Amino acid sequence: MERLNFHDEIKKNKIYSGLLILIVFAVLFALAYVIMRIFSPGSFFFIMIVAIVISLLYIVIGYYNSAKIAVASVNAKEASTSEYRQYHDLVEGLCLASGLPKPKLYIMQNEQINAFASGRDPKNAVICVTTGCLNKLNKQELEGVLSHELSHIANYDIRFMTLTAVLVGMIAIISEIFLRSLWFRGNDRDNKGGAILIVIGIVLAILAPLITQLVQFAISRKRELVADSNAVKFTRSPTGLINALTKIKDNKDMKVSGAVAPLFLAKPSNVANLFETHPPLTERIERLKKM
């Protein structure tokens, strides 16, 4: 069996994530260019300003409060040091080994095995685990899960995914405004805004949000693979995470808000399979076994 080098895997998946984000930018620029050709400069800048203002509001509200929103959405409680000593000890040990500041630790009441990390940077991060994680995983398995979540923090994944979400949101807003504004153009046509260009603009405005959302999910899957590889780097062994993911395969009835579902170690059961934010558990396990 061919062995995988976790350093190479981390580098490769980060490159893939960068290429995918370039696709999102390319779609945004293509949509903006077509709109600029169809509308007058004043109308074009109005559409762009509205989209940017709404996106900036999203950043301020969502990005700077991401940890609080995520924790509140699952009704998690802060984990006391006295009651959850092993939880704190494992995180402290991993933070010392990785050079990260210790995040705030939370507990979510759910007997399924899962966890998530959130926060805009390592100094403002949180880790939340389910009670199932603490009750059903041994020390090595729990360490594997925590190292995966710390990897998301170390890689600034929340910041990266927020940027992606903002770009995808901007494209959706621009597309919506563009399609609605066509109703007010009547039969006005000129060389720059001919019928063919209008049709191209409509098709692009309809497809762009779908394409970029698919790219967003692909980026999310790549970031999960990076976190798996980094977890091996932190613990120097894939065994704990492999065993934890194997136990997670038996998870039933794990239901959370769709907004926070992509943050979790494994996809909650109530999230549709149509748009996967996580690679299949079997694929992740087989990949880790090669490390």
Q: Residue by residue, what is the 3-state secondary structure of 265-288?
A: CCCCCCCCCCCCCCCCHHHHHHHH
Distance in angstroms (rounded) separating the CA atoms of residues 143 and 150: 10
Catalytic residue among 149, 176, 276, 286: 149
Distance in angstroms (rounded) separating the CA atoms of residues 289 and 291: 6
Question: At residue 158, what is the residue type?
Answer: I
SS3 37: helix
Question: At residue 123, what is the residue type?
Answer: K
Distance in angstroms (rounded) separating the CA atoms of residues 139 and 135: 10
What sign has the CA pseudo-torsion 268, 269, 272, 277?
Answer: positive
Instruction: Look at strands 126-130 and 115-118 and give their pairing.
Output: antiparallel
From residue 68, give the alpha-carbon distance in Å to each of 44, 57, 125, 202.
Answer: 36, 17, 10, 39
Helix, strand, coil in percent for the chain, rounding step 5: 65, 5, 25
Long-range contacts of the stretch 100-106 (C-beta < 8 A, 24+) = 100/150, 100/153, 100/154, 101/125, 103/127, 103/150, 103/153, 104/67, 104/78, 105/78, 105/79, 105/129, 106/71, 106/76, 106/77, 106/78, 106/79
286 is a catalytic site residue: no
Distance in angstroms (rounded) separating the CA atoms of residues 77 and 57: 28
Could you list the active site residues? 149
